[in-house]
Structure 1
Amino acid sequence: MFSTDFLPIFKFHLKIAHIFGCIPFTLDHSTGWLRKTQSHSRLKFFKVQCLLSILYSFTLLVNLLNGSLSLTQKAEGFVFFLIYSGMSLIRWNYKLDNSPMQVINSFLHFEADIRHKDPTNVPKSNLITKAMKHFLVMGEVTVASLPVLQFLMLTYRPCTPPFLMSMIPSCIVVSKQQRIIGVIIRSPETWMGWHILYFGSMWLLFELFVGIDCILSYLRFLESQIQSVRNEDDADDCIQFYRAIQVLEKYFNACPHIKRIIPLTVFITPTLQIITQYVCISLRDAVPLPGFLVFPLIAADTIINNVLILTLGSGVHSGSQKALQLLNRRKQRGLKPDRIIRRKVKSCSLLKIRFGSNFIDRGTPLVIQDFCMGQTVNLILINSG
């Protein structure tokens, strides 16, 4: 559950994000829920950061479109551009919309209701939840270390495109004769990377990824409850609990922020996987250490994301289907058929994690991995030819 398994990691992420001043809300310790901060200066600073992140991403794109760059330089630069532009779009909230914050609050409120009804009978941690916790820790390490590795890479190769230093016409001469200028440029660029990544990853990790895992955990808990159904009242309680999960799923999919995050994730992470795999295989000698460490780290994150998260997303659909089937199997548990219960079950729709008019099903992770591997091989063959 969010409140027991993921809330400590979320609080740690909030503490780091508060240092950079990149969040317009705070955790209310009296209620345990998120609320908008009352500091007008922090809200204004957040809006400035939103604009700066978009401007920075646009600057990287302009520099990346420079026709004089080699294939290696474009592959390196495109990885950073995708990360910063994707996170900038995820974090964009200039109008200070409360919907991302309310998604997390809805999970906390849902779990509070479960504990209120029966404190001894709550969803337990499972193997998938433990795997998600390890993935979140890995994500925290990536967010913290990526700007540091970028700073080290630019220290040894200050004119690496598409970063700001490379836009100076006499970059090589300036970097050798006046290194202090390079430090002055790299330091705010590192700060820019941290505040973009920390706030963007907050919604990606704890709103989308943890949200999917929580819905799946509630469905697994419902399955265990259905197995212990002994009478009509128990069956009706299970149906009411499924409908509560269904309301939570509808709110999750209807959130405007989620509608923006999921398509971005489905597009950007496979693209990042393809490029980082290509860099790790074909360009490992062209990218010196320590800058090269960025690409295996990002490749590992994207592969786990494309396999684990999409599999969990497809599990929401199959898990809801299994729960409804268990409710209909009354004869196997020694219960008499009941038309009213059957009609109530029939009125419950299957749960889905949607993006646009589509949804994540069992075949989505396999299709994406097949696409990523095929395109990586094509890039390697093109480069070798």
Structure 2
Amino acid sequence: MQLAFGENTILEKLQGIPFFGVLVIMIISRWYWPSPSGLNKPGQAINMFVRFKNSSSRKTEGASTLDKLIVICLSVCELSLLIGPFLVILLELHSPCAPPFIGSLSPYCSARVWTEPPILVRSTWMLAEVWFWQQTTYDGTLYIMYALIVPIGGMLDYLQYFQRITTHGRSNVRKNVKATNQEKQTNSQEQTIRMYRSLQLLEIGLNDAIKGQIVPAMIGVCPWLQVFSLFVSINFYREIPLPGYAVFPMLFVDALLCNLIIGTLAGQINLTERVLADMKRQLKRYAVRSWYRKELLACAPLRIKFGQNFIDKGTPLVIEDFCFDQTVNLILLEDM
């Protein structure tokens, strides 16, 4: 309420909006009600991927470029989780009445006039602020990291493996002698269909866990977090002293990584439509009543969904275009 109707200055409100966005994302992402069966859906999705990896016949390989990119993204987020609460304290020491921090709700901040509390009260207050932000951010990012980013990266790894066994199976069929061609072809078809059906089950479980809350929070709120954190970083770097000012570039980098990496990875999963189209073009060599033809025609492309929509490969570009366009508009409005 203070961000919208309070007596705080424009600077205090603008620097409070990114933190309010962080709270909204964290609360939505961690606030899960159990399903009718009593299961935690994000936790169930994580266990599903772990069990599939343990039961998969795929050979262990070295870390791919995609895996290294995900590790870098997670490392940056974990570093932000570690130093973020302490930067919040430094920022609050400079603007103790700024929302949405505890100081703006305390009796020591009346009509935007700050009255210095006793040192014991202030110390307890600061510790409570650090504890609150650490608990909120660590709990909120648990599912974002390990029920969204990591499973999507795992899906892409398995899709690359699926493409390899599909291509390898077709090349083997061409090279085999005529006497064993039918047997080899049948084995390759069974392996291909079995692998894709497994990926479809993983996609269903993952979407059931994230499409209701986690993905809408990231798609709906994270762009605004990027907009306002970049706006404050550009326009108010002289008014906010270091090191408290560093929290806004840090929030901008985190939001940018989430918008780009999550959107790009989720959009890559939708490229299975091309793989299926390429496989279906090979169906003309099979009989109309062939089981492989029926099974392949029943396969649908894999997609990461939010609500009734899904993330396409162009979604991250649309989001970034929106973010930078709105940031420029805010800068121009502030200069007028």
**TM-score, normalized by length of structure 1?**
0.77
* 1:356 maps to which of 292, 307, 316: 307
Partner of 1:158: helix, strand, or coil? coil
1:240 pairs with 2:194 = yes
What value does the CA root-mean-square deviation take over the aligned residues? Answer: 2.1
Q: Which moved more, 1:320-329 or 1:231-240?
A: 320-329
How many residue pairs match? The answer is: 314
1:79 pairs with 2:18 = yes
Counterparts of 1:78 and 1:270, CA distance in 2:
12
Match of 1:33 in 2: none
Partner of 1:368: helix, strand, or coil? helix
What are the Cα deviations for residues 229-268 of structure 1, in whole angstroms up to 9, with x where unaligned? 032211221111001100110111123x541111111011
Match of 1:372 in 2: 323
Counterparts of 2:66 and 2:166, CA distance in 1:
21
Are 1:222 and 1:323, in contact at CA under 8 Å, matched by a contact in 2? Answer: no
Match of 2:262 in 1: 309
Are 2:225 and 2:255, in contact at CA under 8 Å, matched by a contact in 1? Answer: yes
Deviating above 6 A after TM superposition, structure 1's stretches of 4 or more consecutive aligned residues are none
Match of 2:46 in 1: 104
What are the Cα deviations for residues 46-100 of structure 1, in whole angstroms up to 9, with x where unaligned? xxxxxxxxxxxxxxxx332343122211111111111123202211146574222
Counterparts of 2:149 and 2:313, CA distance in 1:
17
- 1:112-191 counterparts in 2 under 5 A? 112-114=54-56, 117=57, 121-122=59-60, 125-171=63-109, 173-175=114-116, 178-191=118-131
Match of 1:270 in 2: 223
- Percent sequence identity is 30
TM-aligned CA distance change 1:343 to 1:123, over 3 Å: farther
**TM-score, normalized by length of structure 2?**
0.87
Match of 1:282 in 2: 235
1:198 pairs with 2:198 = no
TM-aligned CA distance change 1:110 to 1:124, over 3 Å: farther
* 1:88 maps to which of 14, 21, 27: 27
Q: Highest Rg: 1 or 2?
A: 2
What are the Cα deviations for residues 154-184 of structure 1, in whole angstroms up to 9, with x where unaligned? 2343333321112335435532x63332222
> In the alignment, residue 251 of structure 1 is paired with which amino acid?
G
Match of 1:59 in 2: none
What are the Cα deviations for residues 263-295 of structure 1, in whole angstroms up to 9, with x where unaligned? 111011100010011111111112111111001
Counterparts of 2:302 and 2:104, CA distance in 1:
49
Partner of 2:8: helix, strand, or coil? coil
Counterparts of 2:208 and 2:138, CA distance in 1:
24
Match of 2:158 in 1: 218
Q: Which runs of 5+ in 2 are unaligned?
A: 173-184
Are 1:306 and 1:365, in contact at CA under 8 Å, matched by a contact in 2? Answer: yes
Match of 2:180 in 1: none
Partner of 2:270: helix, strand, or coil? helix
Match of 2:181 in 1: none
Higher relative contact order (CA 8 A, sep 6+): 2
Are 2:3 and 2:16, in contact at CA under 8 Å, matched by a contact in 1? Answer: yes
Counterparts of 2:285 and 2:79, CA distance in 1:
54
Partner of 1:350: helix, strand, or coil? coil
Counterparts of 2:115 and 2:72, CA distance in 1:
43
Are 1:86 and 1:268, in contact at CA under 8 Å, matched by a contact in 2? Answer: yes
Are 2:81 and 2:134, in contact at CA under 8 Å, matched by a contact in 1? Answer: yes
